[in-house]
Amino acid sequence: MKIDIPMSVPQKKKKVYEKNFKDATKKTGNLFLFAGDQKLEHLNDDFSLKLGYGNSDPEHLFKIADSSKIGVFAAHLGLISRYGKKYKNIPYLILIHS
């Protein structure tokens, strides 16, 4: 697989970038990003269907991510700080909003 590494990546970090890219895409070049911001950015009124069991417990999303074959789990820093040590095998992408 050919990986186009951005010019902004320092030369000494290109191998790290390539490894992270391969890990996040499971060596396919396609990313399966699991978003964990449903309850923070989207309230229940945003969904036409009633959210099921666990929707009020943020750890529920970590349990799903931990048992799934995802590329990365995108969640807010506060949630990752709280649950990340318990779910060490999940690759994280930190969401930061301004």
Q: Are residues 20 and 43 in the same domain?
A: no
Q: Are residues 39 and 86 in the same domain?
A: yes
The pTM for the full model equals 0.74
Name the domain count of the chain.
Answer: 2
pLDDT value for 1: 84
Query: What is the percentage of the chain residues whose pLDDT exceeds 90?
Result: 60
Q: Tens of pLDDT along 52-83?
A: 555 667 888 899 999 998 999 999 898 999 99
Q: Are residues 12 and 60 in the same domain?
A: no
Average pLDDT, the chain: 85
3-state secondary structure the chain: CCCCCCCCCCHHHHHHHHHHHHHHCCCCCCCCEEECCHHHHCCHHHCCCCCCCCCCCCHHHHHHHHCCCCCEEEEEHHHHHHHCCCCCCCCEEEECCC
Domain that holds residue 23: 1-27
